[in-house]
Amino acid sequence: MEHYRSCNLCEAACGLAIEHDDTTVVSVRGDRDDPFSQGHICPKAMALKDLHEDPDRLKKPVVRTDSGWQEICWQQAFDMVKKQLTAIRRKYGNDAVAVYLGNPTVHSHGALMSNRAFIRALGTRNVFTATSVDQLPHHFAANYMFGHTLMLPVPDIDRTDHILIIGANPGASNGSMMTAPGINGRLRAIRARGGKVVLVDPRRTETAKLADEHHFIVPGSDVLLLAALLNVIYARHLYRPDRFRRYTANWSDLGYAVQGITLAMAARHTGISAQTIERMACEFAGSNRAVCYGRFGLSTQAHGGVCQWLVNALNIITGNLDRPGGAMFPLPAVDIAGRKGTMGKAGRWKSRVRGLPEFNGELPVSALAEEILAKGPGKIRALFICAGNPVLSTPNGRQLERALGTLDFMVSMDIYINETSRHASIILPPAFGLEVDHYDLVFNILSVRNRAKYSPVLFQPAPGALHDWQIYRELAHRLGEHRDSFPGRLRSLLRRSVQNLITPARMLDLGLLTGPYGAWRSPSGLLNGLTLKRLKRSVHGIDLGALQPRLPGALFTHDKKIDVAPALFVDRLAVVISDFDAAQGKKAPDGFYLIGRRHLRGNNSWMHNSRRLVKGKNRCTVMMHPDDAERLGLADGQPACVRSRVGAIELPLQVTREIMPGVVSIPHGYGHHRTGTRLRIAEMHAGESVNDITDDQVVDGLTGNAAFSGQVVAVAPVPGAREGDP
């Protein structure tokens, strides 16, 4: 029998055709009839079988006891969580309980539709998510330019003539904040139709092989490259007011703002010559349809927020925003942005210790450990984590680990006992993967074509298992209920009855019905508009067409104009200039700029328990250029010690010309040898966590996002170690 669904492991949303015999997966292949992915998949898709069958995956709640983890029933689990959290809130106030939501949250419509109610019931300001170790700068720029954190322009990759990719490696990541299954093919197609692919990255990556041009750049210096590109465009009058004047304000201010960053300055710090930058600017502005796309490597640097503003600005002033082949705004079938903007929901409170700013209800996760460790009123004493592994995924993981050990109470809603959840008092595992239905609430707002697809449940979860949304709701309900009075009990009962009616499936149906393609949208919609029932019938998904221009109507700003030069960002340019002036020539001779990397067969920290994904040679190496290795007397395969302010790790050296001199690259998500986990395959595999050496104090000064890229580390041989030692 064949089952069709969208893969929700990464952002590409590939259509899968899963052959099964009712209880087990026989094979997984790309669904050729999925109009969006047309058969594309990657090796991780087959790991869905491994995850489904993994004996290490939790099926029932477990509680920590003196004699190890013990299974308990759900009722006991809920009672315990309510009792502990309530006691802590009563004693220390609501902010004493913090929440961290990890990456898989955005791949679960059930979690997205229920976690806000849970957070509201907790009433805490200490909310952290993986956004601030990833894409917070995108949301920041979107908020201040377009009026909504979710108004994120997406490269119209299938129609562009020129794409400038900065700090992304879709060749390994399959694309991010750009849902485009089969991205390699889409990039090749640009060149096949005579277009150009230009890549800027300190490593000659998998994506470089698909590009016409690749330029090394000194990590963390992209802000100067972007400002200089804009400078050239202004100086040579290459901007296109005819294409953007209608919906923008302050575009000439932008020209003045970037003037202070000259070509010479950019060339000196980026390592890209002034002539090359000039040519890049002219070619970009000269292309009829061009788009600049900057992702993870661009966001996670000291000026990531300014960078994402400048990326948008570059697309706007060259007339490429909201045009086919440029950067466009998808129109999803369920429009989660709603009708109100988010502007103003920023800086309403600050983190207690470092004063990092709140944004859209969240604080930067780089501050989590210090908020637990620092004594005094407002200290975090309990933590609720869902779908996150911050010990491996946030900077200074060792410090966080120490902090978790001091908590009064910790809950992990997770499917594994891993490096983070092993510190929990109790773990609540939801139904997972093939046991869950799926609709891409988030990735349809980032999709390069408008599309909709509903994936039904393939295998029923174990008897008694609960979905993430059921767990959230039950907890929200229990935290909010007042059993001590009759009116309180009555209110609780009523609320629960209403809640039981509003299932995620019903909410999804309502979202589709009232959405832009919905049956309730127009009289003709009643005949053929989208409903959940109709969507379910289209088992391979529905193509809703190429992206369409949506400005200025779709803007959330009050005046329906984009502020091209918001003061908040413009003011930061002075800081940018002084930072680079101050850093000039300061790097010690044994100092290297650290960058990260991803591998096609991994997914952040949590898929290394699949044998088929981890097999092969050790990928957790430190990459270094041969000239640097020679200078340090290090040979390929030899263990090297990489040290920073916060710690040191030892990893085998991988000597390669792929990497820029003066830079080292280490992947994240490893470090599974920590004791106390139950990851029997992952823990056998070598590898240290790069976040044991990334510094939690190094953040983007504007947004508070972790600045992983360009942190300076020292590298040295491990005393007494020989070549080939692990």
* Beta carbons within 10 angstroms of residue 701's beta carbon: 18
Which of 25, 113, 117, 168 touches ligand MGD by CB under 6 A?
Answer: 168
Q: For residues 667 and 597, give the distance between their C-alpha atoms in angstroms, rounded to a whole number.
A: 5
Choose between 254 and 436: whose C-beta lies nearer to ligand SF4.
Answer: 436
Per DSSP, the residues of 484-531 read TSHHHHHHHHHHHHHHHH--HHHHHHHHHHHSTTBTTSSTTHHHHSB-
When the beta carbons of 13 and 385 are compared against ligand SF4, the nearer one is 13
- Please report, as a single letter, which amino acid is at residue 634: L
Q: How far is the CB of 102 from Mo ion (least distance, A)?
A: 9
Of 139-147, 590-598, 625-633, 643-651, the window that binds ligand MGD (rule: CB under 6 A) is 590-598
Are 393 and 133 contacting, i.e. CB atoms less than 8 angstroms apart?
yes
Q: Which of 17, 18, 25, 42 binds ligand SF4 (CB under 6 A)?
A: 42
Which amino acid, residue 95?
D
Q: Which CB, 13 or 623, lies closer to ligand SF4?
A: 13
Give the one entry of ligand SF4, Mo ion, ligand MGD, none that residue 9 binds, where binding means its C-beta sits below a cut-off of 5 to 8 angstroms depending on kind. ligand SF4
Q: Quick one: which of 339, 347, 424, 354 has its CA closest to 389?
A: 424
Stretch that binds ligand MGD, among 163-171, 330-338, 503-511, 717-725 (CB under 6 A): 163-171
Location of structure tokens 């020209």: 255
Verify binding: residue 9, ligand SF4, rule CB under 6 A: yes
Q: Find the binding residues for ligand MGD in span 210-249 (CB under 6 A).
A: 217, 219-220, 222
At closest approach, how far in Å is the CB of 41 from ligand SF4? 4
Q: Quick one: 12 or 199, whose CB is closer to ligand SF4? A: 12
Site size for ligand SF4 (CB under 6 A): 12
Pick the binder of Mo ion from 50, 95, 134, 278 (CB under 5 A). Answer: 134
Q: Which is nearer to ligand MGD, 54 or 563 (CB)?
A: 54
Q: Which residues of 422-454 are buried (b: 16+ CB within 10 A; e: fewer)?
A: bbbbbbbbbbbbbbbbbbbbbbbbbbbbbbbbb
**Residues 422, 583: Cα–Cα separation, whole Å:** 40
Choose, by CB under 6 A, the member of 174, 248, 351, 366 that binds ligand MGD. Answer: 174
Q: Where are the alpha helices (DSSP H) in 24-73?
A: 47-53
Among 351, 295, 386, CA closest to 598: 295
Neighbours of 723 (CB within 10 A): 12
For the beta carbon of residue 83, count every other beta carbon within 10 angstroms: 12
Q: Which is nearer to ligand SF4, 12 or 233 (CB)?
A: 12
428 touches 83 (CB < 8 A)? no
Angstrom CA distances, 596 to 202, 234, 403, 678, stand at 10, 34, 25, 26
| Token pair in block for residue 671 | 């470090």
Using an 8 Å Cβ cutoff, are 692 and 671 in contact? yes
Q: How far is the CB of 684 from ligand SF4 (least distance, A)?
A: 23
> For the window 160-179, what string marks contact with ligand SF4 as x by the rule CB under 6 A?
--------------x-----
Choose one: 31-39, 133-141, 214-222, 418-426; the region binding Mo ion (CB under 5 A): 133-141
Work out the widest C-alpha separation in the chain, in whole angstroms.
78
**Among ligand MGD, ligand SF4, Mo ion, none, residue 104 binds (CB under 5-8 Å by kind):** ligand MGD
SS3 101: strand
Binding of ligand MGD by 270 (CB under 6 A)? no
Q: For residue 3, how many C-alpha atoms fall within 13 Å in the half-sphere facing its CB?
A: 23
Residue 13's binding partner out of Mo ion, ligand SF4, ligand MGD, none, with CB under 5 to 8 Å set by partner kind: ligand SF4
DSSP state of 210: G
For binding to ligand SF4 (CB under 6 A), which residues are involved? Answer: 7, 9-10, 12-14, 41-42, 44-45, 174, 181
Q: Which residues make up the interface to ligand MGD (CB under 6 A)?
A: 10-11, 102-104, 108, 130, 133-134, 166-170, 172-174, 176, 200-203, 205, 217, 219-220, 222, 295-298, 301, 386-390, 393, 413-416, 418, 430, 432, 468, 595-600, 602-606, 668-669, 690-691, 694, 708-710
Q: Which residues bind Mo ion (CB under 5 A)?
A: 134
